Structure 1
Amino acid sequence: MTTTPWNERPLEHARLLNPAFLGTLLWSCARAYSLEAIVNQPFALSFLVVPVVLHKSTRESLPTTTRTSLVAWLGKNPRVLVGFSERAKSLVPLVKEALLFASSGGLLRVEDARVVAGVRPRSMARFEREATDEVRACIKQAEFVGKWFALSGEYATVMALWGVAP
Protein backbone atom coordinates (compact mmCIF):
# COMPACT_ATOMS: atom_id res chain seq x y z
CA MET A 1 0.00 0.00 0.00
CA THR A 2 1.26 3.50 -0.78
CA THR A 3 2.52 5.15 2.38
CA THR A 4 3.95 8.38 1.02
CA PRO A 5 1.92 11.35 2.28
CA TRP A 6 0.07 13.20 -0.48
CA ASN A 7 1.98 16.42 0.06
CA GLU A 8 5.21 14.53 -0.73
CA ARG A 9 3.97 12.89 -3.94
CA PRO A 10 4.56 14.43 -7.37
CA LEU A 11 1.92 16.96 -8.43
CA GLU A 12 0.86 14.70 -11.34
CA HIS A 13 -0.02 11.97 -8.84
CA ALA A 14 -2.07 14.37 -6.78
CA ARG A 15 -4.05 15.44 -9.82
CA LEU A 16 -4.43 12.22 -11.80
CA LEU A 17 -3.99 9.40 -9.35
CA ASN A 18 -5.76 10.68 -6.26
CA PRO A 19 -8.14 8.28 -4.52
CA ALA A 20 -11.23 10.42 -5.16
CA PHE A 21 -10.76 10.43 -8.93
CA LEU A 22 -9.73 6.78 -9.12
CA GLY A 23 -12.66 5.91 -6.85
CA THR A 24 -14.97 7.66 -9.30
CA LEU A 25 -13.56 5.58 -12.15
CA LEU A 26 -13.97 2.38 -10.13
CA TRP A 27 -17.54 3.33 -9.22
CA SER A 28 -18.43 4.12 -12.86
CA CYS A 29 -17.05 0.77 -13.99
CA ALA A 30 -18.68 -1.26 -11.20
CA ARG A 31 -22.03 0.45 -11.69
CA ALA A 32 -22.06 -0.19 -15.44
CA TYR A 33 -20.89 -3.78 -14.95
CA SER A 34 -23.72 -4.57 -12.54
CA LEU A 35 -26.34 -2.94 -14.75
CA GLU A 36 -25.16 -4.98 -17.74
CA ALA A 37 -24.49 -8.32 -16.05
CA ILE A 38 -27.16 -8.15 -13.34
CA VAL A 39 -24.44 -9.26 -10.88
CA ASN A 40 -21.83 -7.14 -9.16
CA GLN A 41 -18.37 -6.74 -10.63
CA PRO A 42 -15.69 -9.21 -9.51
CA PHE A 43 -13.21 -7.47 -7.22
CA ALA A 44 -10.19 -8.44 -9.36
CA LEU A 45 -11.46 -6.46 -12.36
CA SER A 46 -11.02 -3.25 -10.36
CA PHE A 47 -7.32 -3.60 -11.04
CA LEU A 48 -7.84 -3.55 -14.83
CA VAL A 49 -10.07 -0.53 -15.28
CA VAL A 50 -7.57 2.06 -14.04
CA PRO A 51 -4.64 1.05 -16.30
CA VAL A 52 -7.01 0.71 -19.28
CA VAL A 53 -8.74 4.05 -18.79
CA LEU A 54 -5.85 6.23 -17.64
CA HIS A 55 -3.55 5.17 -20.47
CA LYS A 56 -4.57 7.72 -23.07
CA SER A 57 -3.71 5.76 -26.21
CA THR A 58 -5.53 2.69 -24.88
CA ARG A 59 -8.53 4.75 -23.77
CA GLU A 60 -8.77 6.49 -27.13
CA SER A 61 -8.51 3.23 -29.08
CA LEU A 62 -11.32 1.46 -27.22
CA PRO A 63 -14.19 0.40 -29.47
CA THR A 64 -17.32 2.52 -29.64
CA THR A 65 -19.68 -0.37 -29.02
CA THR A 66 -19.77 -3.38 -26.72
CA ARG A 67 -20.67 -5.49 -29.76
CA THR A 68 -16.94 -5.52 -30.51
CA SER A 69 -15.61 -8.48 -28.55
CA LEU A 70 -12.65 -8.00 -26.27
CA VAL A 71 -10.82 -10.89 -27.99
CA ALA A 72 -11.31 -9.40 -31.46
CA TRP A 73 -10.35 -5.89 -30.33
CA LEU A 74 -7.18 -7.07 -28.60
CA GLY A 75 -6.30 -9.08 -31.72
CA LYS A 76 -6.54 -5.91 -33.83
CA ASN A 77 -4.83 -3.72 -31.20
CA PRO A 78 -1.93 -5.76 -29.79
CA ARG A 79 0.03 -2.60 -28.99
CA VAL A 80 -2.27 -1.91 -26.01
CA LEU A 81 -0.83 -4.99 -24.32
CA VAL A 82 2.74 -3.69 -24.50
CA GLY A 83 3.68 -2.75 -20.96
CA PHE A 84 0.14 -3.31 -19.70
CA SER A 85 0.97 -5.86 -17.00
CA GLU A 86 3.75 -3.65 -15.60
CA ARG A 87 1.45 -0.61 -15.65
CA ALA A 88 -1.33 -2.56 -13.94
CA LYS A 89 1.06 -3.86 -11.29
CA SER A 90 2.43 -0.39 -10.57
CA LEU A 91 -1.11 0.94 -10.04
CA VAL A 92 -2.20 -1.77 -7.57
CA PRO A 93 -1.39 0.29 -4.45
CA LEU A 94 -3.26 3.30 -5.83
CA VAL A 95 -6.29 1.19 -6.79
CA LYS A 96 -6.34 -0.30 -3.28
CA GLU A 97 -6.16 3.18 -1.81
CA ALA A 98 -9.01 4.33 -4.08
CA LEU A 99 -11.14 1.32 -3.12
CA LEU A 100 -10.65 2.10 0.56
CA PHE A 101 -11.38 5.78 0.04
CA ALA A 102 -14.51 5.14 -2.04
CA SER A 103 -15.68 2.52 0.46
CA SER A 104 -15.25 4.86 3.39
CA GLY A 105 -17.40 7.43 1.59
CA GLY A 106 -20.13 4.95 0.66
CA LEU A 107 -19.44 5.15 -3.07
CA LEU A 108 -18.42 1.47 -3.19
CA ARG A 109 -18.46 -1.54 -0.95
CA VAL A 110 -16.93 -4.98 -1.30
CA GLU A 111 -19.13 -8.01 -0.64
CA ASP A 112 -18.28 -11.63 -1.39
CA ALA A 113 -15.28 -10.73 -3.59
CA ARG A 114 -17.42 -8.37 -5.68
CA VAL A 115 -17.53 -4.59 -5.89
CA VAL A 116 -20.92 -3.06 -5.26
CA ALA A 117 -21.52 0.46 -6.56
CA GLY A 118 -23.43 2.71 -4.23
CA VAL A 119 -26.20 5.04 -5.31
CA ARG A 120 -25.06 7.81 -7.65
CA PRO A 121 -24.15 10.77 -5.44
CA ARG A 122 -25.97 14.01 -6.14
CA SER A 123 -22.60 15.74 -6.35
CA MET A 124 -21.56 13.57 -9.33
CA ALA A 125 -23.46 15.70 -11.86
CA ARG A 126 -21.69 18.85 -10.71
CA PHE A 127 -18.32 17.08 -10.66
CA GLU A 128 -18.79 15.87 -14.24
CA ARG A 129 -20.06 19.26 -15.42
CA GLU A 130 -17.03 21.07 -13.98
CA ALA A 131 -14.48 18.45 -15.02
CA THR A 132 -12.10 18.79 -17.93
CA ASP A 133 -12.81 16.99 -21.19
CA GLU A 134 -10.14 14.42 -20.37
CA VAL A 135 -11.63 13.66 -16.95
CA ARG A 136 -15.09 13.27 -18.50
CA ALA A 137 -13.60 10.97 -21.16
CA CYS A 138 -12.01 8.81 -18.45
CA ILE A 139 -15.31 8.51 -16.58
CA LYS A 140 -17.21 7.71 -19.77
CA GLN A 141 -14.69 5.07 -20.78
CA ALA A 142 -14.68 3.54 -17.29
CA GLU A 143 -18.42 3.08 -17.71
CA PHE A 144 -17.89 1.56 -21.16
CA VAL A 145 -15.22 -0.81 -19.80
CA GLY A 146 -17.62 -1.96 -17.09
CA LYS A 147 -20.28 -2.87 -19.66
CA TRP A 148 -17.71 -4.42 -21.98
CA PHE A 149 -16.11 -6.56 -19.29
CA ALA A 150 -19.57 -7.71 -18.18
CA LEU A 151 -20.14 -9.06 -21.68
CA SER A 152 -16.65 -10.56 -22.07
CA GLY A 153 -16.90 -13.74 -20.04
CA GLU A 154 -15.42 -14.89 -16.76
CA TYR A 155 -13.23 -12.34 -15.01
CA ALA A 156 -10.21 -14.71 -15.00
CA THR A 157 -10.51 -14.95 -18.80
CA VAL A 158 -10.73 -11.16 -19.16
CA MET A 159 -7.64 -10.77 -17.00
CA ALA A 160 -5.75 -13.46 -18.93
CA LEU A 161 -6.55 -11.70 -22.19
CA TRP A 162 -4.91 -8.57 -20.75
CA GLY A 163 -1.89 -10.62 -19.65
CA VAL A 164 -2.47 -10.42 -15.90
CA ALA A 165 -3.64 -12.91 -13.28
CA PRO A 166 -6.16 -12.45 -10.46
Structure 2
Amino acid sequence: MASRWSLSWRERPAEEAALLNPAFCGELIARATKDYQRLRGNAFPLPLSFVVLPLILHAPTLAALPGRADTTFATWSAENEALLADLPERTLRLRPISREALLFLAQHSALTLGADGLRTGEKPLKLAAKPAASTRDVDDIRRAAALLGRWFANQGAPVQILQTMGVTP
Protein backbone atom coordinates (compact mmCIF):
# COMPACT_ATOMS: atom_id res chain seq x y z
CA MET A 1 0.00 0.00 0.00
CA ALA A 2 1.34 3.43 -0.96
CA SER A 3 2.02 6.09 1.62
CA ARG A 4 -0.21 9.15 1.42
CA TRP A 5 2.91 11.18 0.65
CA SER A 6 3.74 9.05 -2.38
CA LEU A 7 0.37 9.82 -3.99
CA SER A 8 0.39 12.17 -6.96
CA TRP A 9 -0.91 15.66 -6.24
CA ARG A 10 -4.10 14.92 -8.18
CA GLU A 11 -4.82 11.95 -5.88
CA ARG A 12 -4.37 13.88 -2.63
CA PRO A 13 -7.32 15.55 -0.89
CA ALA A 14 -7.76 19.07 -2.34
CA GLU A 15 -7.36 20.87 1.01
CA GLU A 16 -4.20 18.95 1.79
CA ALA A 17 -2.73 19.57 -1.65
CA ALA A 18 -3.50 23.29 -1.41
CA LEU A 19 -2.04 23.83 2.06
CA LEU A 20 0.86 21.39 1.96
CA ASN A 21 2.15 21.99 -1.56
CA PRO A 22 5.94 22.34 -1.87
CA ALA A 23 5.83 25.90 -3.19
CA PHE A 24 3.83 27.27 -0.26
CA CYS A 25 5.63 25.22 2.39
CA GLY A 26 8.94 26.13 0.76
CA GLU A 27 8.01 29.80 0.92
CA LEU A 28 7.44 29.45 4.67
CA ILE A 29 10.80 27.78 5.25
CA ALA A 30 12.48 30.39 3.01
CA ARG A 31 10.92 33.20 5.08
CA ALA A 32 12.28 31.69 8.31
CA THR A 33 15.68 31.15 6.69
CA LYS A 34 15.88 34.70 5.34
CA ASP A 35 15.10 36.37 8.66
CA TYR A 36 17.35 34.04 10.64
CA GLN A 37 20.22 34.64 8.24
CA ARG A 38 19.62 38.41 8.23
CA LEU A 39 19.76 38.66 12.04
CA ARG A 40 22.31 36.01 12.88
CA GLY A 41 24.56 36.27 9.83
CA ASN A 42 24.76 32.48 9.77
CA ALA A 43 23.02 29.74 7.87
CA PHE A 44 19.64 28.56 9.18
CA PRO A 45 20.27 25.21 10.93
CA LEU A 46 18.71 22.39 8.92
CA PRO A 47 17.08 20.71 11.96
CA LEU A 48 15.14 23.90 12.73
CA SER A 49 13.66 23.90 9.24
CA PHE A 50 11.75 20.75 10.17
CA VAL A 51 9.85 22.46 13.02
CA VAL A 52 8.76 25.53 11.03
CA LEU A 53 5.75 23.86 9.41
CA PRO A 54 4.57 21.94 12.52
CA LEU A 55 4.63 25.17 14.53
CA ILE A 56 2.86 27.49 12.11
CA LEU A 57 0.48 25.15 10.27
CA HIS A 58 -1.06 24.00 13.57
CA ALA A 59 -3.72 26.64 14.27
CA PRO A 60 -3.59 26.52 18.10
CA THR A 61 0.21 26.84 18.11
CA LEU A 62 0.11 29.58 15.49
CA ALA A 63 -2.34 31.51 17.66
CA ALA A 64 -0.10 31.10 20.71
CA LEU A 65 3.09 32.32 19.06
CA PRO A 66 4.35 35.58 20.51
CA GLY A 67 4.03 38.81 18.60
CA ARG A 68 7.69 39.68 19.00
CA ALA A 69 10.94 37.82 18.39
CA ASP A 70 12.48 39.05 21.64
CA THR A 71 10.04 37.01 23.73
CA THR A 72 11.85 34.63 26.08
CA PHE A 73 11.79 31.28 24.36
CA ALA A 74 12.08 29.10 27.46
CA THR A 75 9.26 30.96 29.20
CA TRP A 76 6.99 30.75 26.13
CA SER A 77 7.72 27.02 25.81
CA ALA A 78 6.92 26.42 29.48
CA GLU A 79 3.68 28.40 29.23
CA ASN A 80 2.66 26.47 26.12
CA GLU A 81 3.76 23.02 27.23
CA ALA A 82 0.39 21.47 26.35
CA LEU A 83 0.60 22.76 22.77
CA LEU A 84 4.16 21.54 22.41
CA ALA A 85 3.38 18.07 23.81
CA ASP A 86 2.50 16.73 20.38
CA LEU A 87 5.08 18.79 18.47
CA PRO A 88 7.47 15.83 18.10
CA GLU A 89 4.68 13.77 16.52
CA ARG A 90 3.61 16.66 14.26
CA THR A 91 7.23 17.13 13.23
CA LEU A 92 7.50 13.47 12.24
CA ARG A 93 4.18 13.56 10.37
CA LEU A 94 5.19 16.66 8.43
CA ARG A 95 8.78 15.56 7.80
CA PRO A 96 7.98 14.34 4.24
CA ILE A 97 6.31 17.68 3.47
CA SER A 98 9.28 19.62 4.85
CA ARG A 99 11.68 17.49 2.80
CA GLU A 100 9.61 18.00 -0.33
CA ALA A 101 9.58 21.77 0.26
CA LEU A 102 13.35 21.85 0.83
CA LEU A 103 13.93 19.85 -2.34
CA PHE A 104 11.66 22.24 -4.25
CA LEU A 105 13.65 25.24 -2.96
CA ALA A 106 16.97 23.62 -3.80
CA GLN A 107 15.84 22.63 -7.31
CA HIS A 108 14.80 26.23 -7.98
CA SER A 109 18.03 27.64 -6.44
CA ALA A 110 15.97 29.56 -3.87
CA LEU A 111 17.96 27.98 -1.02
CA THR A 112 21.26 26.17 -0.82
CA LEU A 113 22.20 23.55 1.74
CA GLY A 114 25.71 23.48 3.10
CA ALA A 115 27.42 21.81 6.01
CA ASP A 116 26.36 24.73 8.22
CA GLY A 117 22.69 24.73 7.14
CA LEU A 118 20.39 26.60 4.77
CA ARG A 119 21.20 29.85 3.04
CA THR A 120 19.36 32.01 0.56
CA GLY A 121 20.22 30.73 -2.90
CA GLU A 122 21.13 32.34 -6.22
CA LYS A 123 17.46 32.86 -7.10
CA PRO A 124 15.77 33.73 -3.81
CA LEU A 125 12.01 33.88 -3.62
CA LYS A 126 10.58 37.39 -3.79
CA LEU A 127 9.22 37.36 -0.27
CA ALA A 128 8.48 41.05 0.10
CA ALA A 129 5.85 41.02 -2.62
CA LYS A 130 2.34 40.51 -1.30
CA PRO A 131 0.35 38.12 -3.45
CA ALA A 132 -2.64 39.66 -5.21
CA ALA A 133 -4.96 37.01 -3.78
CA SER A 134 -4.41 36.04 -0.18
CA THR A 135 -6.35 35.50 2.99
CA ARG A 136 -5.79 36.81 6.47
CA ASP A 137 -4.99 33.26 7.65
CA VAL A 138 -2.31 32.80 4.99
CA ASP A 139 -0.88 36.24 5.73
CA ASP A 140 -0.69 35.30 9.44
CA ILE A 141 1.13 32.08 8.57
CA ARG A 142 3.62 33.97 6.38
CA ARG A 143 4.28 36.50 9.15
CA ALA A 144 4.73 33.68 11.67
CA ALA A 145 7.32 31.98 9.46
CA ALA A 146 9.43 35.15 9.41
CA LEU A 147 8.90 35.56 13.15
CA LEU A 148 10.23 32.04 13.76
CA GLY A 149 13.38 32.88 11.82
CA ARG A 150 13.99 35.99 13.92
CA TRP A 151 13.01 34.25 17.15
CA PHE A 152 15.30 31.29 16.54
CA ALA A 153 18.11 33.73 15.66
CA ASN A 154 17.78 35.26 19.14
CA GLN A 155 18.13 31.88 20.88
CA GLY A 156 20.99 29.57 21.73
CA ALA A 157 22.14 26.51 19.87
CA PRO A 158 19.62 24.67 17.67
CA VAL A 159 19.81 21.58 19.86
CA GLN A 160 18.70 23.66 22.87
CA ILE A 161 15.76 25.12 20.92
CA LEU A 162 14.63 21.67 19.83
CA GLN A 163 15.05 20.15 23.27
CA THR A 164 13.08 23.00 24.86
CA MET A 165 10.21 22.11 22.50
CA GLY A 166 10.59 18.37 23.17
CA VAL A 167 11.91 17.51 19.71
CA THR A 168 14.92 15.24 19.45
CA PRO A 169 17.37 16.43 16.78
* TM-score of the pair, normalised by structure 2: 0.91
Alpha-carbon distance in 2 for matches of 1:121, 1:158: 26
List structure 1 segments (4+ residues) > 6 angstroms apart after TM superposition: none
Q: Residues 126, 75 of structure 1: CA spacing in aligned structure 2 closer, same or farther, 3 A cutoff?
A: closer
Say which structure is richer in helix.
Answer: 1
Contact kept, 8 Å, 2:26 with 2:101, in 1: the verdict is yes
Which residue number corresponds to residue 60 of structure 2? 57
- Percent identity reads 32
Alpha-carbon distance in 2 for matches of 1:136, 1:165: 30
Which residue number corresponds to residue 156 of structure 2? 153
Structure 2 residue ranges without an equivalent (≥5)? none
Alpha-carbon distance in 1 for matches of 2:125, 2:105: 12
Which residue number corresponds to residue 125 of structure 2? 121
Deviations 1:41-66 (A, max 9, x none): 01111101110011111111111112
SS of residue matched to 1:130: coil
Structure 1 residue ranges without an equivalent (≥5)? none
Q: Cα offset for 1:116?
A: 0.8
Contact kept, 8 Å, 2:23 with 2:101, in 1: the verdict is yes
Which residue number corresponds to residue 23 of structure 2? 20
SS of residue matched to 1:125: coil
Alpha-carbon distance in 1 for matches of 2:38, 2:107: 23
SS of residue matched to 2:99: helix
Which residue number corresponds to residue 10 of structure 1? 13
SS of residue matched to 1:109: strand
Q: 1:134 aligns with which of 125, 134, 137?
A: 137
Pairing 1:79–2:93 present:
no
Contact kept, 8 Å, 2:34 with 2:149, in 1: the verdict is yes
SS of residue matched to 1:41: coil
Alpha-carbon distance in 2 for matches of 1:141, 1:99: 18
Q: 1:97 aligns with which of 95, 100, 113?
A: 100
Aligned residues between the structures: 165
SS of residue matched to 2:78: helix
Q: Cα offset for 1:130?
A: 2.1
SS of residue matched to 1:101: helix
* TM-score of the pair, normalised by structure 1: 0.92
